[in-house]
Structure 1
């Protein structure tokens, strides 16, 4: 119920700001490369809504940048050497094998940044923005893979929902930066980086999200 109320308030805020003269909204999508501390990197994506609210009353070029996106992350643990027998209902016992975990969580991603934009030519602006982001865990799976000395692998599904099963913390937050170019006032291309400030894994100490992003947006 709290998540539904929170999301409803965000959409209400979007609706109210569309009446503002300096407000624009559009769609955005892009690529995520996640490298949480203690894990190997993996690919994901983001897609959703993006908004901008100009703040010319403060200074020309200043704006508020925010979004509401479905964002996927992917990573896996390093290959651990496992010398004892590993047994389960679906994985045969193996000796001298390697073991790794793979996780693929999906979040509701909400960045709220302050940015500055300036012209570098006809119909071309450069921009930079920075600020906090907030992640609410929605769903995602985790798997375990064992590989023996002959290269034969067996994979087992460990969790069908890493948040409901309390493998990962549902709430995450951090700081992000974005830089890019705006063309003809509508098309935006950007790259950025997010530094997670909260431990995401209940079983691994000091495991925080680290994510490189590349995005395309179209604003109306």
Structure 2
């Protein structure tokens, strides 16, 4: 069902591209970036857990569709890794014991749709800013718990969940923003994504007194080409 939503969104974007193509020349854009992500992770009775960023990737391709006066629409398709690392201080996770650390890394197919403004100087140097929503679906997600004694346990966060207590959602929606400085056909990219929904799916009955929330937050820096 979630994948059907992603396909529907992609079809709507293609229809919009056809409607806007008469406004001017459509440019193709592709970029690759290093990502730094962390989650806003909260657990009832414990509060905000201190999160550390993890390094990942973001690869994207899309279109710049001009709509006049320097404005453009940028629909794109991205492959994006996100996640977080946190110390579960004071939390006992079954046989893992107290004070374990948890690392989660997810891999998303993402569809951002941004509205942007580009200022060109002498047709050689350009500055652009853009922002808008994104819709994403996780194709893979791994969790790793490290105990105080150094023992590691890895699990699939979507199939296995966290010690069969907390399962994760694959679908995510959020807001993204980016700024670009270009020279000729190349540009430097700085961007960020902020998840709006709780990606914790459910909590099993044996942990009914525990409520957890996790929202994705990520930043990326990279290089791209615009043709």
TM-score for both structures, normalised by structure 1: 0.78
1:201 and 1:86 mapped to 2: Cα distance? 22
Cα shift at 1:8: 8.4
Deviation at 1:163, TM superposition (A): 2.8
Question: Is 1:22–1:55's contact at 8 Å kept on the other side of the alignment?
Answer: no
Residue in 2 aligned with 1:156? 153
1:215 Cα deviation from its structure 2 partner: 2.6
**Paired residue total:** 202
Is residue 169 of structure 1 aligned with residue 160 of structure 2? no
Deviation of the 1:3 alpha carbon: 2.3
In the superposition, relative to structure 1, how do residues 6 and 200 fare at CA in structure 2: closer, same or farther (>3 Å)? closer
Task: Indicate if the aligned counterparts of 2:38 and 2:82 stay in contact, CA closer than 8 A.
Answer: no
Q: Which residue of 2 aligns with 1:66?
A: 75
User: What runs of 5+ residues in structure 2 fail to find an aligned partner?
Assistant: 42-50, 162-166, 204-210
Report the CA distance shift for 1:121/1:165 in structure 2 as closer, same or farther (over 3 A).
Answer: farther
Q: Distance in 1 between matches of 2:14 and 2:93?
A: 56
Please name the residue that 1:78 is paired with: 87
Structure 1, unaligned stretches of length 5 or more?
A: 88-93
Q: Counterpart in 2 of 1:52?
A: 64
Does residue 23 of the first structure (1) align with residue 21 of the second (2)?
A: no
Change over 3 Å in CA distance of 1:155–1:79 after alignment to 2: same
Pick one of 207, 213, 218 that aligns with 2:214: 207
Is 1:124 paired with 2:131? no
Task: Please state how far the C-alpha of 1:107 moved relative to its aligned partner.
Answer: 0.5
What is the alpha-carbon distance in structure 1 between the residues aligned to residue 94 and residue 108 of structure 2?
35
Give the SS at the match of 1:207.
strand
Structure in which a larger fraction of residues adopt helix = 2
Aligned residue number for residue 52 of structure 2: 40
How many angstroms apart in 1 are the aligned matches of 2:170 and 2:33? 23
